[in-house]
Structure 1
Amino acid sequence: MAQPTLNDELRRYEVGEKLRALRLRKKLGLVELGRHTGLSPALLSKLERNKMFPTLPTLLRIAMVFSVDLDYFFADHRKHRVLAVVRRADRLRFPQDPGRRDSSFHFESLTFPVTEPRCQAYVATFHPVASGKARPHEHAGVEVIYVLSGELGVTIEATEHMLESGDAMYFDASVPHSYRRTGRSSCSALVFSVA
């Protein structure tokens, strides 16, 4: 009597469906996945059809091929937040101390508390800093800046690019870059970062 109950509980996680979706997304056949994991195509087929449930070491071998964590197979992806309303008063601010004199900007996150967002979006406010004094930073991916108001200098590889309200810029964010307000009036922009 206990066995059907255990199987029902294990099916609830839809491990087989998630495994199949990963395999198809990577355009792998069962034989090819078997070569990568060291598991037989017959076993992989049974796992995908929930005719058999993997041990944790077996599941870990599969997860490593697809570069996912084990929790990928156990999390209910329908419960992940795919919609979030971020109120102005609730935005996370970066840097944590926007009053620092050497800070040329602060960001307010538009994507927190979304879990695993596909991009990061911010409203940025830029502060006046002397040319060459803004601290460069870098991160993985690309960045898009759309200037909402004011004048902005974006320095990439020692070249400062001047942007005005309505201008946009796309660049490789793995290259050191910095921002600074160049005009007298306030300057803000939307910043999108995709890794």
Structure 2
Amino acid sequence: MTKIQIVRPHQEHDIGGKVRALRKARNLTLEELAKKLEVTASYLSRLERNHNLPSLPLLERLAGVFDVDIGTFFERTIAEAKPKRVLHPDEQMEIIAYQGRLVIKYFAHILYPRPSLEVMENLLKKGGRVVFPTRAGECCMIVIEGEINVEVGQERYTLDEGDSIYYTTDQFRRITNSGRKDARYISILYPPAYIK
């Protein structure tokens, strides 16, 4: 499973507390929710107490069960998330996923409480691979360092530093770094997939 690690700003995210609140708001027991998610009630209890961090696929299943966006688990309250124009490096939310092979920095999540675009800087380590679920939307990617292979449906593209690609997200997508060094690229998604 893909474990995530929230690097910063960690004090703003209480994923377990949000899961507990959503579960209670829907009158689900730990056992009922665990069954829907195909995990044990014990694991879910530890998750709700922030002793376990969920995998990205589990966060996606949680979002589906609760009918919320996955970003719900990362956002602050609306009162705290007042719109602002400038985002400093220490305010960027950074997530490490795919066994440390992917580092994602989110840029727009605190500029506006409900951004219409999702802007991320991704660091895909050498040998790393990421597969994305299909959904309605659009994506533009710009490679700023290294080389990545992008598969969209049945087509495959090799992108080098400075190259960009645009595609719709309603088909299979995989990004692989088979180059000799880590690769960095910017992703711009509409509508937001994770932070909304």
Higher helix proportion: 1
Higher strand proportion: 2
| Greater RCO, 1 or 2 (C-alpha within 8 Å, sep 6+) | 2
Radius of gyration: which is bigger? 1
